[in-house]
Amino acid sequence: MALQNRSSNQYPAEIRGDGLVLRPWDRDLLRQVAGWSERGFPYHAFDMTHLKDPVEAEKMLRRAQERGPHRHFVAVEDETAVGRIAVNLRDEAGLYIWGVHVPEEHGRRGVCRRMVDALVQWLEERFPRGPAFLLSTNAFATHAHRSYRAVGFEISETRWHFDRELSEMLWKVSPAEREPIAEHIRFYRGRWEVRVYIMRRRRGWRAM
Protein backbone atom coordinates (compact mmCIF):
# COMPACT_ATOMS: atom_id res chain seq x y z
CA MET A 1 0.00 0.00 0.00
CA ALA A 2 1.58 3.29 -1.05
CA LEU A 3 0.92 6.64 0.62
CA GLN A 4 -0.55 8.96 -1.99
CA ASN A 5 -2.57 11.47 0.01
CA ARG A 6 -1.81 15.16 -0.02
CA SER A 7 -0.80 15.38 3.64
CA SER A 8 2.14 13.08 2.92
CA ASN A 9 3.63 15.95 0.90
CA GLN A 10 4.36 18.00 4.02
CA TYR A 11 7.81 18.15 5.62
CA PRO A 12 7.78 18.49 9.41
CA ALA A 13 9.85 21.37 10.88
CA GLU A 14 11.59 18.72 12.94
CA ILE A 15 11.04 15.28 14.43
CA ARG A 16 12.02 14.94 18.06
CA GLY A 17 13.91 11.84 19.11
CA ASP A 18 15.92 10.71 22.11
CA GLY A 19 18.64 13.40 22.47
CA LEU A 20 18.45 14.39 18.81
CA VAL A 21 16.09 15.93 16.29
CA LEU A 22 15.62 15.04 12.64
CA ARG A 23 15.50 18.12 10.43
CA PRO A 24 14.97 18.62 6.72
CA TRP A 25 18.22 19.46 4.94
CA ASP A 26 19.28 23.11 4.76
CA ARG A 27 22.46 24.90 3.70
CA ASP A 28 24.08 24.91 7.11
CA LEU A 29 23.44 21.19 7.66
CA LEU A 30 24.66 20.41 4.17
CA ARG A 31 27.92 22.29 4.87
CA GLN A 32 28.41 20.21 8.00
CA VAL A 33 27.65 16.93 6.22
CA ALA A 34 30.20 17.85 3.50
CA GLY A 35 32.81 18.03 6.27
CA TRP A 36 32.16 14.53 7.62
CA SER A 37 35.01 12.03 7.47
CA GLU A 38 35.17 9.49 4.66
CA ARG A 39 34.79 5.75 5.18
CA GLY A 40 35.99 4.48 1.82
CA PHE A 41 35.46 0.98 0.38
CA PRO A 42 33.13 -0.87 0.94
CA TYR A 43 31.17 2.05 2.43
CA HIS A 44 32.29 4.51 -0.27
CA ALA A 45 28.68 5.08 -1.41
CA PHE A 46 28.09 6.90 1.89
CA ASP A 47 31.02 9.31 1.55
CA MET A 48 29.84 12.90 1.39
CA THR A 49 32.96 14.94 0.60
CA HIS A 50 31.73 15.50 -2.98
CA LEU A 51 29.31 17.98 -1.35
CA LYS A 52 32.23 20.40 -0.95
CA ASP A 53 31.77 21.04 -4.67
CA PRO A 54 29.14 23.85 -4.91
CA VAL A 55 27.46 22.25 -7.94
CA GLU A 56 27.13 18.89 -6.17
CA ALA A 57 25.93 20.69 -3.03
CA GLU A 58 23.15 22.48 -4.92
CA LYS A 59 22.08 19.23 -6.59
CA MET A 60 21.94 17.46 -3.25
CA LEU A 61 20.00 20.26 -1.58
CA ARG A 62 17.46 20.35 -4.39
CA ARG A 63 17.04 16.57 -4.26
CA ALA A 64 16.79 16.52 -0.47
CA GLN A 65 14.11 19.24 -0.45
CA GLU A 66 11.91 17.81 -3.21
CA ARG A 67 8.31 16.98 -2.27
CA GLY A 68 8.34 13.71 -4.18
CA PRO A 69 8.13 10.24 -2.62
CA HIS A 70 11.27 10.65 -0.51
CA ARG A 71 11.78 12.49 2.78
CA HIS A 72 15.40 13.26 3.70
CA PHE A 73 16.51 14.22 7.18
CA VAL A 74 19.69 15.15 9.01
CA ALA A 75 19.98 14.07 12.65
CA VAL A 76 21.06 17.00 14.80
CA GLU A 77 22.41 17.10 18.35
CA ASP A 78 22.96 20.62 19.76
CA GLU A 79 23.06 22.13 16.25
CA THR A 80 25.63 19.53 15.13
CA ALA A 81 24.81 17.25 12.19
CA VAL A 82 25.49 13.71 13.44
CA GLY A 83 23.70 11.46 10.94
CA ARG A 84 21.36 11.27 7.99
CA ILE A 85 18.39 9.12 7.05
CA ALA A 86 15.73 9.01 4.34
CA VAL A 87 12.43 7.26 3.71
CA ASN A 88 10.51 6.45 0.56
CA LEU A 89 6.83 6.94 1.39
CA ARG A 90 5.62 5.35 -1.79
CA ASP A 91 7.63 2.21 -2.26
CA GLU A 92 5.33 -0.64 -3.26
CA ALA A 93 6.78 -2.87 -0.56
CA GLY A 94 6.15 -0.46 2.34
CA LEU A 95 7.69 2.54 4.10
CA TYR A 96 11.22 2.07 2.85
CA ILE A 97 14.01 3.45 5.00
CA TRP A 98 17.32 4.14 3.27
CA GLY A 99 20.42 6.37 3.25
CA VAL A 100 21.21 5.58 6.90
CA HIS A 101 24.62 7.03 7.67
CA VAL A 102 26.52 8.14 10.77
CA PRO A 103 30.10 9.36 10.30
CA GLU A 104 32.82 7.73 12.42
CA GLU A 105 33.31 10.88 14.53
CA HIS A 106 29.72 10.58 15.78
CA GLY A 107 29.57 6.78 15.77
CA ARG A 108 29.03 4.28 18.57
CA ARG A 109 26.75 6.52 20.60
CA GLY A 110 23.49 5.07 19.37
CA VAL A 111 22.85 7.85 16.83
CA CYS A 112 21.79 5.28 14.22
CA ARG A 113 19.44 3.51 16.61
CA ARG A 114 17.96 6.78 17.88
CA MET A 115 17.41 8.32 14.45
CA VAL A 116 15.76 5.20 13.00
CA ASP A 117 13.57 5.00 16.09
CA ALA A 118 12.57 8.69 15.85
CA LEU A 119 11.69 8.31 12.17
CA VAL A 120 9.57 5.17 12.54
CA GLN A 121 7.70 6.61 15.55
CA TRP A 122 6.92 9.76 13.58
CA LEU A 123 5.82 7.77 10.53
CA GLU A 124 3.53 5.61 12.66
CA GLU A 125 1.85 8.69 14.09
CA ARG A 126 1.71 10.58 10.82
CA PHE A 127 0.40 7.66 8.75
CA PRO A 128 -1.52 5.49 11.22
CA ARG A 129 -2.96 3.32 8.49
CA GLY A 130 0.19 3.17 6.44
CA PRO A 131 2.12 0.04 5.51
CA ALA A 132 4.87 -1.65 7.56
CA PHE A 133 8.53 -0.65 7.45
CA LEU A 134 11.36 -2.22 5.55
CA LEU A 135 14.93 -1.57 4.54
CA SER A 136 17.62 -3.33 2.61
CA THR A 137 21.14 -3.66 3.94
CA ASN A 138 24.38 -5.16 2.70
CA ALA A 139 25.06 -8.37 4.62
CA PHE A 140 28.51 -7.09 5.63
CA ALA A 141 27.07 -3.97 7.37
CA THR A 142 26.91 -5.75 10.73
CA HIS A 143 26.94 -2.61 12.90
CA ALA A 144 23.90 -1.31 11.08
CA HIS A 145 22.08 -4.63 11.66
CA ARG A 146 22.61 -4.32 15.41
CA SER A 147 20.96 -0.89 15.42
CA TYR A 148 18.08 -2.04 13.23
CA ARG A 149 17.42 -5.08 15.43
CA ALA A 150 17.42 -2.84 18.51
CA VAL A 151 14.45 -0.93 17.07
CA GLY A 152 12.44 -3.93 15.92
CA PHE A 153 13.70 -4.84 12.45
CA GLU A 154 14.24 -8.51 11.62
CA ILE A 155 15.74 -10.13 8.55
CA SER A 156 12.92 -11.40 6.38
CA GLU A 157 14.80 -12.26 3.18
CA THR A 158 18.27 -12.71 1.80
CA ARG A 159 19.08 -11.92 -1.84
CA TRP A 160 22.03 -11.60 -4.18
CA HIS A 161 22.03 -8.10 -5.56
CA PHE A 162 23.90 -6.33 -8.36
CA ASP A 163 24.96 -2.92 -7.05
CA ARG A 164 26.63 -1.13 -9.95
CA GLU A 165 28.79 1.18 -7.85
CA LEU A 166 29.97 -1.52 -5.47
CA SER A 167 30.56 -3.86 -8.39
CA GLU A 168 32.76 -1.28 -10.13
CA MET A 169 34.82 -0.88 -6.97
CA LEU A 170 35.16 -4.66 -6.60
CA TRP A 171 36.89 -4.75 -10.00
CA LYS A 172 39.36 -2.11 -8.82
CA VAL A 173 40.32 -3.19 -5.30
CA SER A 174 42.89 -5.85 -4.46
CA PRO A 175 41.95 -9.34 -3.17
CA ALA A 176 43.29 -8.24 0.24
CA GLU A 177 40.89 -5.29 0.30
CA ARG A 178 38.03 -7.59 -0.73
CA GLU A 179 38.85 -10.09 1.98
CA PRO A 180 36.84 -8.53 4.89
CA ILE A 181 33.62 -8.82 2.87
CA ALA A 182 34.56 -11.96 0.90
CA GLU A 183 31.84 -14.13 2.43
CA HIS A 184 29.16 -11.64 1.37
CA ILE A 185 30.10 -11.21 -2.29
CA ARG A 186 30.21 -13.53 -5.25
CA PHE A 187 31.36 -13.37 -8.85
CA TYR A 188 28.43 -14.73 -10.79
CA ARG A 189 27.79 -14.81 -14.53
CA GLY A 190 30.51 -12.28 -15.22
CA ARG A 191 29.69 -9.72 -12.56
CA TRP A 192 30.10 -9.02 -8.87
CA GLU A 193 27.07 -9.37 -6.62
CA VAL A 194 26.59 -8.64 -2.95
CA ARG A 195 24.38 -10.43 -0.46
CA VAL A 196 21.69 -8.15 0.94
CA TYR A 197 19.19 -8.61 3.72
CA ILE A 198 15.68 -7.27 3.58
CA MET A 199 14.72 -6.32 7.12
CA ARG A 200 11.17 -5.56 8.20
CA ARG A 201 9.57 -4.04 11.24
CA ARG A 202 5.93 -4.53 12.02
CA ARG A 203 3.79 -1.56 12.99
CA GLY A 204 3.42 -0.90 16.68
CA TRP A 205 6.59 -2.82 17.63
CA ARG A 206 7.81 -1.77 21.07
CA ALA A 207 10.97 -2.85 22.91
CA MET A 208 10.19 -5.31 25.74
Ligand X SMILES: CC(C)(COP(=O)(O)OP(=O)(O)OC[C@H]1O[C@@H](n2cnc3c(N)ncnc32)[C@H](O)[C@@H]1OP(=O)(O)O)[C@@H](O)C(=O)NCCC(=O)NCCS
Residues that bind ligand X in the complex, under the rule CB under 6 A: 39, 43, 46, 100-102, 107-113, 137, 141, 143-144, 146-147, 150
32 or 147: whose CB is closer to ligand X?
147
- Nearest distance from C-beta of residue 180 to ligand X, angstroms: 13
2 or 45: whose CB is closer to ligand X?
45
141 or 169: whose CB is closer to ligand X?
141
108 or 189: whose CB is closer to ligand X?
108
Q: Contact at 8 Å (CB) between 46 and 39? A: yes
Q: Contact at 8 Å (CB) between 138 and 185? A: no
- Nearest distance from C-beta of residue 147 to ligand X, angstroms: 4
- Nearest distance from C-beta of residue 14 to ligand X, angstroms: 19
From CA 66, how far away is CA 76, in angstroms rounded? 20
- Nearest distance from C-beta of residue 187 to ligand X, angstroms: 22
Q: How far is CA 191 from the centre of its chain?
A: 25
| Cα dihedral value 172, 97, 60, 109, nearest 10 | -80
Question: Which parts of the chain are beta strand (E)?
Answer: 15-16, 21-24, 70-77, 80-88, 95-101, 133-138, 154-161, 185-188, 191-201
From CA 134, how far away is CA 154, in angstroms rounded? 9
From CA 14, how far away is CA 45, in angstroms rounded? 26
8 or 46: whose CB is closer to ligand X?
46
Q: How far is CA 172 from the centre of its chain?
A: 25
40 or 58: whose CB is closer to ligand X?
40
- Nearest distance from C-beta of residue 175 to ligand X, angstroms: 22
- Nearest distance from C-beta of residue 9 to ligand X, angstroms: 26
